[in-house]
């Protein structure tokens, strides 16, 4: 087992970051490891989750970092705060004992997925067959799928509110493999924060979260006393239908009569790309005097990463083509090492990784017209990209859609990044940078790269260590859609990775 504190920077404490074989070896049954780190200069909603195999399906929860008393929220103090965790559970009827009900501070709600089968068996079967894995059986809001015919007695999560108040909802997508739309019937939501970074407030009736993303919204209870449906429903740009259902919960105004009907939310269709695009285009960093944007204006490393699914030879696979689905960045399918990369880096152990990760794809590409077959095949490797301390990086993440038109929520460990541009089609290095937003780009730790489109992100490599970059759709990570940056120490007194703790597990 390992635990990752998703979005916590881990400044100089990469040993506590958690991804198995990247920053640590797994904690074995009966053993223990203390994750020791300081949260500084960060506040907001994040999540923690297991970071080995598919265990984050069931091992996850909310992280709430409250603001410093001297520097309260940059918006009026809410009447109350609630956590909404959107997730997946593998057994509906275990819910009554779930950790969500033990979660005492009266905070947010979560979203997720619900599996009837053992998720490790699901991915093992998929990896052995070379085919795509099964989808979950349902999504959930704070552990409940909502009223369902196959889960009697489970009424779904209820949020009781007072009229004419403002609530801060901390919404977390903890699902394994699905982007989710979130809605509350008849109410607008004012978005104030994503991934624990403040944004310029804007009102919307629908929000969108990729797995690993968090969104804080203000809900003002300005509607007539009644019961209102909350929905968390899948967004897929691909035509493949996901057959798991929408999770539902209810906002109930205090004093609503028990017999009152629930006002339903009209959830977006599964492929509502325009709604998704309108939401992401509205996101701007707050960039106020108290929270100025720290987007790097000058760039030392300009990288272009093509990301997508590809094919590799698989003599042992059961399918007739003897090929298996793999995923890659710049046609490199990442191979997990046998000892942790951070260990190999810190102690200078050779033969574990190379630092020759390609800065751009080798072959010319066109992901909108005639797709080149050479872009479909991948090579294996544990290849890292090396960055000098404090250097600045721009990565254009180009979605390829070679096999399936799918979005990829890409997550970077160790640093937040700024999303300076996005577009459809092939990135044009001569034209597209002219339209970049270098004033108030949204700051986040996970960003959805559109299928057959691109996003450009920037960050400063001021955190020495080894930092994982991967697709937060767990199935794509299993297939190899991952790489890591190695950030060297600086020369200053506080510019180097701290030594490993004594109880760090051994491989």
Residues near ligand C2O, by CB under 6 A:
4, 6, 19, 49, 51, 212, 411, 413, 468, 470, 472
Give min distance, CB of 403 to ligand C2O, in A.
23
Q: What's 459's DSSP letter?
A: E
Residue 470 CB, nearest approach to ligand C2O (Å): 6
Please list, in sequence order, all residues whose beta carbon lies within 8 angstroms of the beta carbon of residue 178, skipping any fewer than 6 positions away.
113, 135, 136, 139, 211, 234, 235, 236, 242, 244, 473
Find out whether 170 and 217 touch, Cβ atoms under 8 Å.
no
| 117: DSSP letter | S
Q: How far is the CB of 19 from ligand C2O (least distance, A)?
A: 5
**Comparison of 23 and 426: residue with beta carbon closer to ligand C2O:** 23
Cβ nearer to ligand C2O, comparing 54 with 228: 54
Closest by CA to 467, choosing from 370, 366, 345, is: 345
* CB closest to ligand C2O, residue no: 6
| Nearer to ligand C2O among residue 51 and residue 183 (C-beta) | 51
Judged by CB, which is closer to ligand C2O: 199, or 412?
Answer: 412
Report the Cα 422 to chain-centroid distance in Å.
18
- CB-wise, 99 or 428, nearer to ligand C2O? 99
N-terminal to C-terminal alpha carbon distance within the chain: 12
Rounded to the nearest whole angstrom, what is the least distance from the CB of residue 370 to ligand C2O in the complex?
35
Minimal distance, residue 215 CB to ligand C2O, in Å: 15
Instruction: State in angstroms the smallest separation of the CB of 78 from ligand C2O.
Output: 26
Tokens standing for 145?
Answer: 């799928």
Nearer to ligand C2O, 14 or 146 (CB): 14
Q: Which residue spans within 56-106 are E strands per DSSP?
A: 60-65, 80-88
- Which residue, 2 or 246, is less far from ligand C2O as judged by CB? 2
Q: How far is CA 86 from CA 8, 18, 314, 483, 507, in A?
A: 20, 22, 36, 27, 33
392: Cβ–Cβ under 8 A, 6 or more apart, which residues?
Answer: 296, 298, 299, 300, 301, 458, 459, 460, 461
- Residue with Cβ nearer ligand C2O (361 or 409): 409
Residue with the two structure tokens 């880096």? 345
Name the minimum Å distance from CB 62 to ligand C2O: 13
Give the tokens for residue 110.
């979560």
CA-wise closest residue to 78 among 15, 16, 138, 165? 165
Q: Which is nearer to ligand C2O, 4 or 267 (CB)?
A: 4
Nearer CB in complex with ligand C2O: 161/469: 469
Q: Which residues contact 75 (CB under 8 A, 6 or more apart)?
A: 192, 201, 218
Question: What is the nearest approach in angstroms of ligand C2O to the Cβ of residue 195?
Answer: 11
Burial class (CB in 10 A: 0-12, 13-18, 19+), 110: buried
Report, in Å, the least distance between residue 7 CB and ligand C2O: 8
Cβ 469 to ligand C2O shortest distance, Å: 9
User: Is the Cβ–Cβ distance between 145 and 85 less than 8 Å?
Assistant: no
In terms of DSSP H, where are the helices of 89-185?
99-102, 119-129
CB nearer to ligand C2O: give 21 or 357.
Answer: 21
Is the Cβ–Cβ distance between 396 and 425 less than 8 Å? Answer: no
State in angstroms the smallest separation of the CB of 56 from ligand C2O.
7
For residues 417 and 457, the answer to whether their CB atoms sit within 8 Å is yes
């Amino acid at each position: 087992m390992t635990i990752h504190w998703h979005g916590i920077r881990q400044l100089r404490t990469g040993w506590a970051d958690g991804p198995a074989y990247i920053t640590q070896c797994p904690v074995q049954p009966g053993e223990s490891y203390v994750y020791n780190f300081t949260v500084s200069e960060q506040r907001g909603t994040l999540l923690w989750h297991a970071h080995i195999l598919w265990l984050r399906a069931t091992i996850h929860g909310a992280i709430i970092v409250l603001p410093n008393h001297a520097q309260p929220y940059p918006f009026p103090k809410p009447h109350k705060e609630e956590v909404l965790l959107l997730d997946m559970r593998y057994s509906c009827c275990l819910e009554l004992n779930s950790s969500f009900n033990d979660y005492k501070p009266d905070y947010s709600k979560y979203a997720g997925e619900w599996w009837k089968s053992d998720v490790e068996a699901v991915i093992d079967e998929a990896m052995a067959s070379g085919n795509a894995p099964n989808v979950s059986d349902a999504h959930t809001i704070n552990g409940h799928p909502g009223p369902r015919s196959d889960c009697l007695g489970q009424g779904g999560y209820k949020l009781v509110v007072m009229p004419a108040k403002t609530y801060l909802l901390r919404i977390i997508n903890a699902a394994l493999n699905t982007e989710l739309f979130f809605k509350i019937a008849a109410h607008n939501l004012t978005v104030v924060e994503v991934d624990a970074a403040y944004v310029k407030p804007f009102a919307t009736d629908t929000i969108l979260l990729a797995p690993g993303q968090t969104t804080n919204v203000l809900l003002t209870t300005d509607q007539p006393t009644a019961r209102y449906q909350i929905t968390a429903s899948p967004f897929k740009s691909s035509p493949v239908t996901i057959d798991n259902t929408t999770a539902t919960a209810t906002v109930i105004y205090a004093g609503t009569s028990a017999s009152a009907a629930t006002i339903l939310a009209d959830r977006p269709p599964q492929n509502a790309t325009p709604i998704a695009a309108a939401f992401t285009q509205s996101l701007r960093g707050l960039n106020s005097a108290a929270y100025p944007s720290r987007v790097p204006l000058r760039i030392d490393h300009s990288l272009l990463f093509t990301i997508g699914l590809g094919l590799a030879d698989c003599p042992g696979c059961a399918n007739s083509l003897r090929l298996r689905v793999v995923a890659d960045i710049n046609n490199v399918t990442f191979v997990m090492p046998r000892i942790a990369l951070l260990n190999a880096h810190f102690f200078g152990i050779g033969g574990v990784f190379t630092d020759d990760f390609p800065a751009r794809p080798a072959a010319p590409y066109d992901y909108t017209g005639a797709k080149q077959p050479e872009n479909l095949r991948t090579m294996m490797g544990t290849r890292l990209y090396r960055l000098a301390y404090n250097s600045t990086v721009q990565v254009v993440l180009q979605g390829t859609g070679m096999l399936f038109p799918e979005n990829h929520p890409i997550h970077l460990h160790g640093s937040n990044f700024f999303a300076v541009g996005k577009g459809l089609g092939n990135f044009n290095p001569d034209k597209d940078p002219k339209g970049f937003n270098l004033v108030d780009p949204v700051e986040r730790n996970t960003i959805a790269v559109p299928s057959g489109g691109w996003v450009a992100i920037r960050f400063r490599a001021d955190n020495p260590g080894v930092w994982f970059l991967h697709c937060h759709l767990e199935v794509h990570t299993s297939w190899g859609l991952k790489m890591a940056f190695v950030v060297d120490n600086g020369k200053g007194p506080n510019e180097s990775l701290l030594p490993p703790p004594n109880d760090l597990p051994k491989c």
